[in-house]
């Protein structure tokens, strides 16, 4: 059995940095990623680094797992990149130190496309004030949702979707709390999910709590808020045992499925950046 990267499930750390890179020098890509993995081991007392690869780079490095670059029929900007570095650290100082060391290493072969300085907000809330992640599967079910099962290409790894969403909090906060709750399908203060009769079909949970061919479309979400007073939002991060499940959920949110209902959340937040990645298991990283 292969071992997943521990950062996927490790929720100890509140200070986080996400770095996205485009490959510039493909001859140096492998040795640069190996240097990043060495650095990951050096900093393991104060930080956990998770690495994931875009489809083109992973094809070059491994060739065993095929998956698609991000696309949603042009509905949201597709900004597929090649390398994702996710630093979770004990405090902001360590997050900075580790992210900077990772950046200096990675820059030998890659150009940075995006940097997100993220933080856990209050009691695991999104900046809208709603608890985010509470509906995640728990224990074995989390692993089943997040990891490619044994016997399949990429077993022990995980398909990842990341999206930078920019919130319009001013518009959202104009709604009375009862309407804000209708946007999400949960209560705001104590995060209780609406029952079936009360759940609006266009609410966020109404769009994303769904079965496909009898299979619940569960994913493992690790989204984190980012930003300051002028621009702020959520860096959506989700791990999944199959890429198509992530696409299925996005299609339901953006009215690209049969019932053509758009998630009301998209009136108040907009994705400006999206990529798919594969986060290989430790054995695949060690074999590089
Ligand atoms: C601005 C972006 C987003 C925000 C602020 C957000 C926030 C939330 C909140 C507050 C909940 C309810 C609490 C919970 O279950 O954790 C939730 C549930 C969920 N969200 Fe999102 N979300 C965002 C984007 C997305 C995207 C892009 C997807 C899928 C591709 C997604 C998938 C889900 C799923 C699967 C659930 C759980 C549904 C269930 O109860 O089974 N979310 N989200």
Beta-strand pair 232-240/220-221: antiparallel
Residue 208 Cβ < 6 Å to ligand 1: yes
Residues 250, 237: Cα–Cα separation, whole Å: 13
- 84-112: per-residue pLDDT in tens? 999 999 999 999 999 999 999 999 999 99
Q: Which two tokens stand for residue 214?
A: 């009898």
Q: What is the pLDDT of the chain when averaged over all its residues? A: 97
Instruction: Count CB neighbours of 133 within 10 A.
Output: 16
Task: State what percent of residues in the chain have pLDDT above 70.
Answer: 100
Catalytic (active site) residue 190 = no
Q: Which of 82, 132, 247, 263 is catalytic?
A: 132
Give the N- to C-terminal CA distance of the chain in Å, as an integer. 18
**Looking at ligand 1, which atom is closest to the CA of residue 165?**
1
Pocket test for ligand 1, best of 202, 221, 275 (most atoms within 8 A of CB): 221
Q: How confident is the model at residue 5 (pLDDT cuts 50, 70, 90)?
A: very high
- 192-227: per-residue pLDDT in tens? 999 999 999 999 999 999 999 999 999 999 999 999
Ligand 1 centroid – CA 208 distance (Å):
7
pLDDT at 7 over 90: yes
pLDDT number for residue 2: 80
- 127-145: per-residue pLDDT in tens? 999 999 999 999 999 999 9
**Looking at ligand 1, which atom is closest to the CA of residue 186?**
12
pLDDT number for residue 283: 96
**Looking at ligand 1, which atom is closest to the CA of residue 216?**
41
The residue to which tokens 């969403």 are assigned: 165
Rounded mean pLDDT of 175-181?
A: 98
Ligand 1 centroid – CA 223 distance (Å):
9
Three-state DSSP class for residue 155 = coil
CATH numbers and ranges of domains, the chain: 6-286 (3.30.70.1030)
Residue 186 Cβ < 6 Å to ligand 1: yes
The full DSSP string for 63-130 is -S---PPP-STTSS-----SEEEEEEESSHHHHHHHHHHHHHHHTTTEEEEEEEEEE-BTTTB-TTS-
pLDDT number for residue 1: 64
Rounded mean pLDDT of 268-277?
A: 98
Residue 133 Cβ < 6 Å to ligand 1: yes
Residue 219 Cβ < 6 Å to ligand 1: yes
**Looking at ligand 1, which atom is closest to the CA of residue 233?**
1
Residue 127 Cβ < 6 Å to ligand 1: no
pLDDT number for residue 63: 86
Residue 76 Cβ < 6 Å to ligand 1: no
Residue 204 Cβ < 6 Å to ligand 1: yes
Ligand 1 centroid – CA 110 distance (Å):
31
Ligand 1 centroid – CA 84 distance (Å):
21
Backbone angles phi and psi of 175, in degrees to 5: -75, 140
pTM listed for this prediction: 0.98
- Cβ(162)–Cβ(237) below 8 Å: yes
Q: Which helix (H) or strand (E) holds 182?
A: helix 177-184
Residue 121: closest CA among 229, 269, 266, 227? 227
Residue 183 Cβ < 6 Å to ligand 1: no
- 23-38: per-residue pLDDT in tens? 999 999 999 999 999 9
């Amino acid at each position: 059995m292969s071992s997943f990267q521990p950062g996927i499930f490790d929720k100890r750390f509140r200070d986080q940095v996400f770095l996205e890179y485009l490959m510039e020098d493909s001859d140096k890509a492998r040795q640069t990623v190996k240097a990043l993995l060495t650095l990951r081991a050096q900093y393991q007392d104060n930080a956990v680094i998770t690495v994931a690869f875009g489809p083109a780079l992973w094809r070059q490095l491994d060739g065993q797992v095929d998956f698609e670059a991000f696309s949603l029929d042009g509905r949201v900007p597709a900004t597929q990149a090649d390398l994702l570095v996710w630093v979770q650290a004990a405090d902001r100082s360590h997050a900075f130190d580790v992210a900077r060391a990772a950046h200096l290493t990675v820059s030998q072969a890659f150009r940075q496309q995006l940097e997100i300085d993220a933080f856990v907000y209050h009691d695991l809330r999104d900046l809208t004030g709603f608890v985010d992640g509470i509906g995640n599967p728990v224990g074995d079910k989390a692993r089943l949702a997040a990891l490619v099962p044994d016997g399949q290409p990429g077993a022990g790894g995980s398909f990842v979707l990341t999206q930078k969403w920019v919130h319009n909090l001013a518009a959202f906060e104009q709604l009375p709390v009862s309407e804000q709750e209708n946007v999400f399908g949960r209560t705001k203060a104590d995060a209780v999910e609406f029952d079936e009769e009360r759940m609006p079909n266009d609410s966020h949970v109404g769009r994303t709590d769904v079965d496909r061919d009898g299979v619940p479309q569960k994913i493992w979400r690790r989204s984190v808020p980012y930003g300051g007073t002028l621009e702020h939002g959520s860096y959506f991060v989700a791990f999944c045992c199959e890429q198509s499940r992530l696409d299925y959920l996005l299609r339901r949110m953006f009215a690209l499925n049969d019932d053509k209902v758009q998630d009301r959340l998209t009136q108040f937040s907009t994705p400006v950046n999206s990529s798919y990645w594969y986060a290989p298991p430790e054995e695949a990283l060690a074999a590089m």
